[in-house]
Amino acid sequence: MPHGHHHHHHHDAEGGDGKLAAAVGVNMLLTVAQVIGGIVSGSLAMIADALHNFSDAASLVIAAAARRIARRPADDDMTFGYARAELVAALINLTTLIVIGLYLLYEAVFRLIEPEPVTGWLIIVIAAVALAVDLATAALTWAMSKDSVNIRAAFLHNLADAMGSLAVIVAGLLIMWFDWMWVDPVATLGIAGYILWMAFTEIGGVIRILMLGSPPDLAPDHVIATAEAVPGVKGMHHAHLWQLDEHRRMLEAHIVIAAGEWGEADAIKQAVKAEIEGVHGIGHVTLEMECAGHECPHARAVGH
């Protein structure tokens, strides 16, 4: 890296990879253990829960793989680099999370109508082991999830699982002690609601970036105003403001140089770039220069 100042995701990237690998490993180990246990004991419940943990491991694998791919530099194929791999991974994980949430909703409603006494010590023990693994995974990924929507999506998967395991334990005990059958569907309903709410909150930002939307906290008008305040600039139009990833912002625009200033065009452009980077933190700016006599007629300020 010639410049160390521009990115978060380089410091302790290795440590992060290690933690993610550990999280994947723990979930895979439990999956294998449950499959073997299920086959040996003939318990279908254990195999079903193995699938559960496998889906957790899969979402972690997607997140971790995307995180590694995202660090590759630009090449002839990906001229902006691979950073967006993390956004694609987040979209996939959030979409499957929404599907899981909808499925839980369906299950809960179904069981409210027709209660199914899923209980017994074996199921509670399986859930307790799964909960321990989920908590370990959460501890490993929590710190990283604050700064990355990709890791946050995998973390949410894991959180959904942890809450599910907890619900199985609590509901199982309450059914055995008090015969409260309604606890299980009601808890499932609550979890489904929470998961869907979180996933829909997160997915909006991801879709916005993938659809080349402008940064939510920066109106294009502000950037145009900043550029037009630079001496020698008559106007800015055809502005495209978008985000490469969660942290990097991009601008492409045409600027019109005031009449008589064309000789200074290079210096004016440099000043505009410095201003835009200084005020709005946009490091990647492409400006097409037009002299006042040849500007695009009736051009729109934003878009083209």
Partner 1 sequence: MSSETEFHIRGHGSHMPTSGRGMVISAWLTGVYFIIELGIGLWTGSIAVLSDAFHTFSAVGGILVAVGAARLSRRPADATFSFGWYRSEILGALVNGGFLAGMAFVVIYMAAMRLNAPIDLPTGPMLLAAAGGLVTEFISLGLIWKQSRSDMNVRGALWHIIQTFVGSLLIIVTALVIRFTGFLMIDPLLGMAFGFVLLWASWGILRDAARLLMEAAPSEIDLNSVIADLEALDGVHDAHHVHAWTLTSGRNVFSAHLRVGDGVDPQAVQRRAHRLLRRDHGFFFVTLQTETECLDESGAETIDITSGHQVGHV
Beta bridge partners of 241: 251
Q: How does 61-98 read in b/e, with b if 16+ C-beta sit within 10 Å?
A: bbbbebbebbbeeeeeeeeebbbbbbbbbbbbbbebbb
CA 8 from centre of chain: 16
138 or 210: CB nearest partner 1: 210
Per CB under 8 A, does 113 bind partner 1? no
CA distance 277 to 197: 36
For the segment 157-196, give every residue that binds partner 1 (CB under 8 A): none
Q: Which residue from 2, 14, 113, 114 is in contact with partner 1, where contact means CB under 8 A? A: 2
Decide: 287 and 255 in contact? Cβ < 8 Å. Answer: yes
14-22, 26-34, 93-101, 139-147 -> range binding partner 1 (CB under 8 A): 93-101
Token couple for 299: 């051009």
Token couple for 212: 């080349």
Per CB under 8 A, does 146 bind partner 1? no
85 or 181: CB nearest partner 1: 85
Neighbours of 155 (CB within 10 A): 24
Q: Which residue from 95, 105, 112, 193 is in contact with partner 1, where contact means CB under 8 A? A: 95
Sign of CA dihedral 82, 140, 52, 169: negative
Q: In angstroms, how far apart are the furthest CA atoms of the chain?
A: 88
CA distance 161 to 93: 14
Q: One symbol per residue from 64 to 83: x for binding partner 1 (CB under 8 A), - otherwise; what is it?
A: ---------xxxxxxxxxx-
CA distance 47 to 32: 10
33 or 299: CB nearest partner 1: 299
Per CB under 8 A, does 40 bind partner 1? no
75 or 114: CB nearest partner 1: 75
Closest CA relative to residue 108, chosen from 66, 171, 60, 62: 171
22-30, 105-113, 177-185, 289-297 -> range binding partner 1 (CB under 8 A): 289-297
Q: How far is the CB of 142 from partner 1 (least distance, A)?
A: 26
Per CB under 8 A, does 136 bind partner 1? no
Per CB under 8 A, does 201 bind partner 1? no
1-9, 15-23, 126-134, 161-169 -> range binding partner 1 (CB under 8 A): 1-9
3 or 146: CB nearest partner 1: 3
Q: How far is the CB of 86 from partner 1 (least distance, A)?
A: 10
Per CB under 8 A, does 219 bind partner 1? yes
Q: Which residue from 23, 87, 108, 156 is in contact with partner 1, where contact means CB under 8 A? A: 87
284 in helix, strand or coil?
strand
Token couple for 173: 């005990």
19 or 152: CB nearest partner 1: 152
Q: Which residue from 44, 113, 178, 231 is in contact with partner 1, where contact means CB under 8 A? A: 44
CA 202 from centre of chain: 7
Per CB under 8 A, does 13 bind partner 1? no
